[in-house]
Each structure stands twice: as structure tokens, then as C-alpha cells.
Chain A
């Protein structure tokens, strides 16, 4: 009686073998090479087990020693393991004394595809998609195509996993289809991801139009002209129930509208999101009480040419206004002008009606904190201003105090207005105190140069942004940072901690020293 010795390499998954298509019953078969020893010529080896294409499969030894045999499996073999039993007879028909059995690991799983949007899905935004294949036996390299159609037209050759696809300033809205090519990925054992292209649809939401809103009082007629940067037309709702009209972009043509009766109310204009509007303040409709222009506009001119009855001016974009604050309309309540402005004058000349003022740019405004009109609750002036005073002099009504420039700001944190939400001082100051004395509702604190002290645990929990340069003396553990903090920038700190204790909302984290 012969003994049967079988060895096998069951560490490697069975390879699919398209080359055996000559096997009549197999659409696609699995195949494994088995190695065993024949101990005498004529010895027969029989393989039994689930999924073996023809079972039992006799193998007859025609030589003594190590032999290889390709064992094939049917295409509908789906379990992850298969128990194979090998038995045998010697050349006299005596069975071997003991059968040999082992499990074969079978990988029949196709690579799994997922696509995730990790960016904006808004027109004008920055999209990002991650195309990811997952499988136990992914290949070492990738080379497939992702086609984008609809809101974006592109074809990306993906050579890595995940494949990151980015587009900035998406021009169109509507359905965006990511189509991952057929047969994109074949794993190391031959399983193919998908034999047809796989589509993923996303909806790119349209960007809102840029809006210009004028509030006029007792107007009998109005003429308007708008030149858009990309030549796109613009629409007007005159507010008097007359039909909305669409006009062409022009730097010379103006369009007249006559109101049947003196009109008081809003006139709204809309232009496409990717347009830019330019012009001078003198071109704004006279008689306007309220002017709001969103988007990337570039208005210029002297503030002395603003409509005299203006109460609210809100300009986004990159304005370039000049002039002295003493020429602002006397009844102005809200002034918000972004961009690179050059406005001068003394604080004491600000209209006493102003509630909120925000002027960005290189302004040169001077004066004392105590001269800020008591009507003001929000005060933001950037630039190279020279404003001095003590924290004692800030009105209790102030909730936003943001100042750029030099000056001599002194006092204690403890004297800041209790309802202060934003405190930003871009230049040197001599405001002292401990952080536990900060107003309890503070959301933003930014000192370009400071010597304030304290433990991190003393920061108000309401803070979203902390930016302290200079020589602050801050101790404690980052674990105690406000839980909704988004920005933390500290120069020269004694604070310590671990990354895993940082607030999950953090977007900027900078620690020097």
C-alpha cells in the first residue's frame, strides 16, 4: 500500500483562467495548480470537493516524484473557501491509508467602486471627487478613464487610487455625470470591476445672480446703464409692477424708466453670477436711500458724490473709493465698502446717524475712540489709521471693534464692552489683562501685538477665532480650547497638548515658539 503525500500552495488565491475557454461547460473557470508526490508509476490520484469541474478527476502517475496538476472549478463556484479531498490508489488498486484535505481560498469578488463628492456642488464653486476602488487584491498600478459630462466636460486619466478629480470655478449648473470606464480595474487574481461603464450623477446647483438693489423715494423717473465684464445682459425689476425688463450690457447706453406716480421702494437689478460690474459712484441713481451691490464689482469715485439722501451703502467686491468722511451723506446709517479704499478724515466727522461702518483698504482716519458716535454698534476700519484711546472709552453699545493702523490704544481687557463679539487690532497696542477677563460673548479676538496672559481654559467658549501675536503668555492644555474654535494662531506659547485633543471644527492651527 502506498502512502499519499500532497503539498499545495494554498496561500495564493486561485487565479481565474480565461485561457481555458476550450472547456465546454465553462464560461469562466477557476484554476489552481496542485503539487504532490507520486510514489510509484501507475498510482491514481482522485480529487473530490465542491465546485471541481469534473469530479472525481483521476490523475495517473507516469513517473515518480513531484508532480503538478491543474485543478479546474466551475464558474458558479462562489464560496470563499472550498474543501478539497485528495485520495489515491496504488498501481494494484489499493487505496491510500489516509486522505489528504485542505481548504482553498477563492477570491471571486470584483473590485468595488465608490465615488464620493468632497467639494462644492455649486456653480462657481470648486468641485472635488474621489474615485475609489476597494478589494483584497488590488493591482499595484491603475490606468482608467473617468469622463465628466454635463455641467463639466472633461476626461481624466486616473493613475492612482483613490483618483482625485478637481475643478475650480465650475461654469455650468445642472446634472454632472461621472462615468467610470468599463474594465477599469482588474485585480491580481483576474476579477474585473465592471464590464460596462458605471455612471454617477450629481446636481450642480446654479449660482445666485449678482444683485443690485436701490431704494428710491418719490422717484418720477430713473435711467440706468450697466456694463458687465462678460457682456451678459442684465434684468431690472422697477418695483412698480411694470414688467421685468432685460437690457444689454453697454458702457454708453442708458435706459430710461418713467414711473406713473412718484415711486418709493426697491428697484432690483440682477446680472449673471460670473459678471463683474464697474463704474463710478456718480453713476449711482440719485435719490437712492439704499444701495446694495453684491458680487465682484469694482466701483470707484469720491464719497462726496454719493446720493445725498443715502442711508445704506453696501458694496461687496473690490471697490476703490476715496474722499473724506466729513462728506458722507448726513443721514447715513450703514456703510460697508470692501476693497482697496483710501478714505481719510477724523472720527469726529462721521455722521452721528451711523450704526454700522466697515471700510476696508488703506484708509487714513484719525481721532480718539471717545469720538466714535454713540450710535455705532459695529466699527471696522482697516488701513493705516491713527486712532487712540482707552478701552474705557469704547461705548457699551459696541459689539464689533476692528481697527487697522497705529495709534495708542491702552486700557484693560476687563473694561471692554460686555457685548463685544469681535475685537481685532492690527497694530501695536498696550491693552493688558488676562484672558479670563475677556467678554463672555466674544467670537473673534485678534491682536497683532499683545502681552495678555492667562490659561487657555479662560478663553470664552463662544470664541471661533483666536489670533494673538506679540508676546502673550498663554499656558494650559489645548484640550481646554473652545469647542467650536475654527482658527487658533498663537505666537510664543507655553501651552501644550496633543493633536487628538484639538477641536474638530479647527480649520487653521498655527503655533510658533
Chain B
């Protein structure tokens, strides 16, 4: 069965009390993430017609779940992500780095992390993310980490961190 519904528009026109926005497939959302409603806790925009732009550092501090896939140009560093995120899925159109391991995170819960950017993460960046995730002590839900696609593989530092992540409760940690 074919479904041909669609949704178009810009982020700045979203209802301002929105807490959860989850849109999949036939959507064409544009705009800058800085214009997202401040109440938003879940943002899931998956569709290759999306043209969302902006900086990771401009994402809302109270965001708990973030899925972005499409023709987006959202850029920034992993350490700039909102501190309460427990579900993160970034692919297609995300240019993310991980320049250090100083993520200053107080929320030690996590559910899912997938980073498959167009420009693959370096070994150092993969190591840094794995080291930061090794601080997570409470894995819930999917309990999965995926740093495959065109990312580089981890070094021994990252592999050691991967062991810690698994011992802390994650069930799957994939990498190249």
C-alpha cells in the first residue's frame, strides 16, 4: 500500500508549546534548529527532503531524544549536545566532530546512540565518544551504540572504553 501524505514547512512555524515532534518519510522540513520550540524534548526528523540547518550548540538544552536524517547541514561537536539526551541518532547531513572527552554530563542514563555522518569520524573522535560513553552507568531501552558506516575504527583506547560500556549494561557496541 502506498502512502502519499506529506508535510512541508519551516521550523519557525511550529507550535510553540510542542514537546514531541516525530516525523518520518514524506516530510520537507527546513529552517534553523535555533528556532525550535523551547518546550521540545523529542525531535525526530527522518526524511531525505529535510533541509534543516544550524549548530549543535544551538539545540535546546532540555532535548532528551534527537533523530536527524536527511539533507541537513547541522554541524558541531559531540560535547556540545544537550546534556540530557539519552537517545541520539544522527545520519545523513550531519557533520559532527568529537574533539575531546569533556562532555560534563550529569545524567548518567543512556538508551541508544547512532552516529553515521556523511564525513566519517576520525579514530580520535570515535575513541573520544567511546570514552565519554564509558561514563554511562545506566543503560536502558535499546542499549545500543553504533559508530559504523564511514567512521574510522577505534584505537586501543576506544576498544578499552567499549569493554567498559558493555560491562556497564550496553548490549551492542558496533564500530568499524
Chain A positions within 8 Å of B, measured between CB atoms, are: 118, 128, 160, 164, 166, 471, 478, 492-500, 502-513
Contact = CB atoms under 8 A, between A and B. Distances in A.
B5 A495 contact: yes
Nearest to B58: A160
Contact of B20 (A118, A498, A507): A507
A510 B23 CA distance: 5
Contact of A507 (B3, B6, B18, B24): B18
A511 B23 contact: yes
Given A164-B61, A166-B62, A513-B25, A507 B39 contact: yes
30 contacts: A118-B38, A471-B1, A493-B5, A494-B4, A496-B6, A497-B8, A498-B9, A499-B7, A499-B9, A499-B11, A499-B14, A499-B29, A500-B9, A500-B10, A500-B13, A503-B15, A504-B15, A505-B17, A507-B17, A507-B20, A507-B39, A509-B20, A510-B21, A511-B23, A511-B24, A511-B27, A512-B24, A513-B24, A513-B25, A513-B26
Contacts of A496: 4-7
Nearest to B62: A166
Contacts of A164: 61
B22 interface: yes
Contacts of B21: 508-510
A510 B5 CA distance: 13
Contacts of B19: 507-508
A512 B39 CA distance: 22
B64 to A, nearest CB: 13
A478 B16 CA distance: 17
B59 to A, nearest CB: 12
A499 B24 contact: no
B18 A498 contact: no
Nearest to A511: B23
Interface in B15-49: 15-27, 29, 38-39, 44
Contacts of A478: 7
B24 A509 contact: no
Contacts of B8: 497-499
Nearest to A162: B38
Given A498-B13, A499-B13, A507-B15, 19 more contacts: A164-B61, A496-B4, A496-B7, A497-B8, A498-B8, A498-B9, A499-B11, A499-B29, A500-B10, A500-B13, A504-B15, A504-B17, A506-B17, A507-B19, A507-B20, A507-B39, A508-B19, A509-B20, A512-B25
Name which of B7, B24, B26 has the most chain A CB atoms within 10 A of its CB.
B7
A502 B24 CA distance: 17
B29 A508 contact: no
A502 B13 CA distance: 9
Given A164-B61, A498-B7, A513-B3, A504 B16 contact: yes
A511 B14 contact: no
Contacts of B39: 507
A419 B153 CA distance: 61
Contacts of A510: 20-23, 44
B129 to A, nearest CB: 23
A471 B62 CA distance: 33
Nearest to A487: B20
Given A166-B61, A494-B4, A499 B10 contact: yes
B62 A502 contact: no
Nearest to A478: B7
A494 B15 contact: no
Name which of A160, A504, A506 has the most chain B CB atoms within 10 A of its CB.
A506
Name which of A164, A502, A511 has the most chain B CB atoms within 10 A of its CB.
A511
A118 B21 CA distance: 20
A267 to B, nearest CB: 39
A466 B62 CA distance: 25
Contact of A511 (B4, B7, B17): B7
A495 B23 CA distance: 13
A264 B6 CA distance: 62
A478 B9 CA distance: 12
A470 to B, nearest CB: 12
Nearest to B39: A507
Contacts of B9: 498-500
Contacts of A492: 1, 3
B142 to A, nearest CB: 18
A496 B38 CA distance: 25
B11 to A, nearest CB: 8
Nearest to B13: A500
Contacts of B6: 496-497
B115 to A, nearest CB: 23
Contacts of A507: 15, 17-20, 39
A504 B15 CA distance: 5
A510 B45 CA distance: 10
A508 B7 contact: no
A502 B14 contact: yes
B100 to A, nearest CB: 16
Give me the 5 closest cross-chain CB pairs, A-B, nearest first: A499-B9, A510-B22, A500-B13, A508-B20, A506-B15
Contacts of B25: 512-513
B13 to A, nearest CB: 4
A494 B5 contact: yes
Contacts of A508: 18-21
A509 B18 contact: yes
A492 B3 CA distance: 6
Nearest to A495: B5
A166 B17 CA distance: 17
Contact of B5 (A160, A471, A511): A511
A160 B5 CA distance: 39
Contacts of A497: 6-8
Contacts of A504: 15-17
A223 to B, nearest CB: 42
A512 B45 CA distance: 10
